[in-house]
Structure 1
Amino acid sequence: MTVTRFAPSPTGRLHVGNLRTALFNYLISRNAGGTFILRLDDTDPERSTRAFADGIQRDLEWLGLTWDRLERQSERLDRYAAAADELRAKDRFYEAFETPTELDLKRKKQLNMGQPPVYDRAALKLSEEEKDRLRAERGQGVWRFKLKQERIEWTDGILGDLSIDAASVSDPVLIRQDGQVLYTIASVVDDTDMGVTHVVRGSDHVTNTATQIQIMEALGFAPPSFAHHSLLTGPQGEALSKRLGTLALADLREAGVEPMALLSHMARLGSSQPIELCSDLDELAEGFDLDHFGAAPTKFDVNDLYPITARYLHTLPLEQVADQVAEIGVPEDLAETFWTVARANITTRNDIAGWWHLFRDGTTPVVDEEDREFVAEAFALLPDPPYTAETWGAWTGAVKEATGRKGKGLFMPLRKAVTGLERGPEMSDVMPLLQKKPAL
């Protein structure tokens, strides 16, 4: 059975980059009738918060990305400790005591000599007496996994055949000096224990994947299938990381972006397939295939989400917005007519109330100076509401006969005077919704 997971750290809000990873894993599992796990990487007690964890779940629920299981790494610390003991027993785990400053000086020296800035494994040469002295002076050290210095190869689900020379990679730290278990080993243990078969994540994890494959093999685990999607950039190719604070899913929700618009966009962005609005997640999963994605950085422009949101809203029947329409005060007998007019002229749900405000209270007429007398005369010919679909034709006919105006010179000034807009819905649809007679 196909099992995928999304493993965010509850140390901040989800943004569009996180969503790409979550969505790919979700669609793979749903397409195969498998299991999708939400796993909270909360081993950092200082930065992980309940508020962020709740926010992650709220964002996923808003999008409809429901999970089959919820796991928390903070509840599995004993399991990671057992894995660490096993690595020690196999002589693949060692304690190192360098300070950050000492490591930085080593890297600078290596770079000056034209060498790769890889940890030199000096800790492996320490005697037990030297280790005891360093512990007395500095406290506990960090624990590093001892890589086999050979090529690590796998076939990536997006990038194809990959090969990384482990000699060019530092032995990864798996446990910090304060005892905190890091993602690298926790993820290995969890993916194996939870039967994860496919892992999709960003291409910035490629080196991480190479080291995790060796850790899995050292623990006697078979690695899952890995795939690394391209990273998102801004619309001009700039690093998106500087703007992620404004691209949180909660902010997009507040701005009125519709879930299916966002999901439809993200499921095709960076692929060879055109972006198309899907009606639901089942339709999205049916057409999803990692083979369509490439390695090139993928440009993301938040403004592209709004035309898709508008297209989605244009398809909605009244039943799906009835509560919101009622909440802004639209009478039940006008709700169907109101929504038919409004939905074709909004970009987000946030625009709905503005249209009812216009119909209920009127607006400040937009009248060019040369049309002022004409509009005043026209308004005098307009009876008091209620109006019908025939009111516009009857009124403009009477105004034409009284003033001699016709065509654009007749209709445009009246549209602007009634709605304050140069374009919008058909005026024969607008008139029945007006609750007050327009006036200068």
Structure 2
Amino acid sequence: MTTTRFAPSPTGYIHVGNLRTALMNYLIARKAGGTFILRIDDTDPERSKEEYVDAIKQDLEWLGLHWDRVERQSERLDRYAEAADKLREMGRFYEAFETPTELDLKRKKQLNMGKPPVYDRAALNLSEAEKDALRAERGNGVWRFKLDHERIEWNDGILGDISIDAASVSDPVLIRGDGQVLYTIASVVDDTEMGVTDVVRGSDHVTNTATQIQIIEALGGTCPRFAHHSLLTGPQGEALSKRLGTLALRDLREQGVQPMALLSLMARLGSSDPVELRSEMAELIDGFDINRFGAAPTKFDVQDLFPLTAKHLQSLPLADVVDAVAEAGVPADLAEPFWAMARENITTLDDLKGWWELCRDGAEPLIADEDRDFIAEAIALLPEGPFDGETWGSWTKAVKEATGRKGKGLFMPLRKALTGMERGPEMAALLPLLQVIRARG
């Protein structure tokens, strides 16, 4: 069975970059009728916070990305300890004691000599007495996985055939000196024991994948299918890293972005398929193909979400937005005609409030000096209420016959006088909702 996972660290709110990873894994699982695991990578006790765990779940639920089960790495520390012991017994795990400063000096020296800046494995030459002395002096060392210096190859679902020389990569640190288990081994143990078959993540993980393949093989596991999606940039190709704080999903939600607008964009962004607004998740699942995504950096512009949001809202019946219409202050008996009027003229649901304020309170008329007599004559011809969808047509016909005005010279001054705007909803739909005019009727 196809099994995927989304594995966020609860050290902050998830953003559009995280969503790309979550969505791809979700769609793969759902298309195959498989399992989608939400795995909370909370092995860092200082930075992990329960409020972020709750926030991650809220954001995924808002988007409709429902998981089949939740796993927490903090509850699986014994499994990682067993894996570490197994690697020690195999001679593939060793303790190293260099300080960050010492490692930095080594890297600089290697670079000056034209060599790749990889760890030189000096710790392998330490005697037990030397290790004891270093522990007494510096505390426990870090534990590194000893890579086999051979080429690591796999066929990537997005990048194609990948081949990395393990000798060009430092032996990865899997456990810190304070005992904290790091992502590289925890993820391997989890993916193996949870039967994860497909892993999609950012292209910044390619080197991690190479080392993890060797760890999986050393532990006797089966490698999942890997795919590494491109990283998002800003609309001009600039790095998004400094802006991701403003692109948290909860911030987008606060700005009125609709879930299907966001999902429709992210399900196609960076692929060879055009972005198309979808009305339901099933359409995104059916149309998803990881092989259609490219390796080039992918431009993301948050402004692209708002036309999609507007288009999505236009397609919704009142039943789907009735709470938002009520929150805008619209009386229940006017909700249906109000939504029919407003839906084509909003970008987000927050815009409903402004349209209801116009309907309820009216607007400062925009009347040119040359139109004052015309407007006065037209208002005098306004029929008695109540108004309906035919009132605007019959009234403007009467005004045309009385004044001789027609076309833009007839309709625009009337719109500006009633709404204070040059453009907006169909006046036939808006006129019956204008409370000041209704009261006059």
Q: TM-score, normalised by structure 2?
A: 0.96
Residues 411-426 of structure 1 mapped to structure 2, 5 A cutoff = 411-426=411-426
The answer to whether the 8 A contact 1:385-1:436 is kept is no
- Structure 2 residue aligned with 1:396: 396
- Structure 2 residue aligned with 1:19: 19
- Structure 2 residue aligned with 1:325: 325
The answer to whether the 8 A contact 1:384-1:437 is kept is no
**How many angstroms does 1:407 deviate by?**
1.8
- Structure 2 residue aligned with 1:74: 74
- Residue 161 of structure 2 corresponds to residue 133 of structure 1: no
- Residue 265 of structure 2 corresponds to residue 265 of structure 1: yes
- Structure 2 residue aligned with 1:353: 353
**How many angstroms does 1:391 deviate by?**
2.4
The answer to whether the 8 A contact 1:386-1:434 is kept is no
Percent of counterpart pairs with the same letter? 77
Aligned length: 439
**How many angstroms does 1:402 deviate by?**
4.3
Residues 81-230 of structure 1 mapped to structure 2, 5 A cutoff = 81-230=81-230
The answer to whether the 8 A contact 1:203-1:231 is kept is yes
SS of equivalent to 2:161: strand
Aligned mates of 1:369, 1:288 — CA distance in 2: 59
Give the partner amino acid of 1:200.
V
- Structure 2 residue aligned with 1:363: 363
- Structure 1 residue aligned with 2:41: 41
Give the partner amino acid of 1:426.
E
Once the two structures are superposed, residues 359-389 of structure 1 have per-residue CA deviations (whole angstroms, 9 ceiling, x without a partner) of 1111222333443443344334435653222
Unaligned segments of structure 1, at least 5 residues: none
Give the partner amino acid of 2:179.
G
Aligned mates of 1:302, 1:327 — CA distance in 2: 26
Aligned mates of 2:385, 2:166 — CA distance in 1: 80
The answer to whether the 8 A contact 1:235-1:300 is kept is yes
- Structure 1 residue aligned with 2:274: 274
**How many angstroms does 1:142 deviate by?**
0.6
Give the partner amino acid of 1:235.
P
The answer to whether the 8 A contact 2:329-2:353 is kept is no
**How many angstroms does 1:5 deviate by?**
0.2
Aligned mates of 1:66, 1:48 — CA distance in 2: 22
Which segment drifts farther, 117-126 or 327-336?
327-336
Once the two structures are superposed, residues 251-287 of structure 1 have per-residue CA deviations (whole angstroms, 9 ceiling, x without a partner) of 1111111101110110011111111111211111011
Aligned mates of 2:95, 2:416 — CA distance in 1: 76
The answer to whether the 8 A contact 1:387-1:434 is kept is no
Aligned mates of 1:417, 1:245 — CA distance in 2: 44
Aligned mates of 1:50, 1:101 — CA distance in 2: 34
**How many angstroms does 1:422 deviate by?**
1.5
Aligned mates of 1:384, 1:437 — CA distance in 2: 10
- Structure 2 residue aligned with 1:300: 300
Aligned mates of 2:198, 2:89 — CA distance in 1: 29
- Structure 1 residue aligned with 2:343: 343
SS of equivalent to 1:47: coil
Once the two structures are superposed, residues 74-125 of structure 1 have per-residue CA deviations (whole angstroms, 9 ceiling, x without a partner) of 0000110111111111110111111111111111111111111111111111
Unaligned segments of structure 2, at least 5 residues: none
The answer to whether the 8 A contact 2:309-2:348 is kept is yes
Once the two structures are superposed, residues 398-433 of structure 1 have per-residue CA deviations (whole angstroms, 9 ceiling, x without a partner) of 433444432211211111221222222211111111
The answer to whether the 8 A contact 1:386-1:435 is kept is no
- Structure 1 residue aligned with 2:434: 434
Aligned mates of 1:10, 1:247 — CA distance in 2: 16
Aligned mates of 1:88, 1:372 — CA distance in 2: 91
Q: TM-score, normalised by structure 1?
A: 0.97
- Structure 2 residue aligned with 1:4: 4
SS of equivalent to 1:240: coil
Once the two structures are superposed, residues 39-84 of structure 1 have per-residue CA deviations (whole angstroms, 9 ceiling, x without a partner) of 0000001110001110000000000000001000000001101111
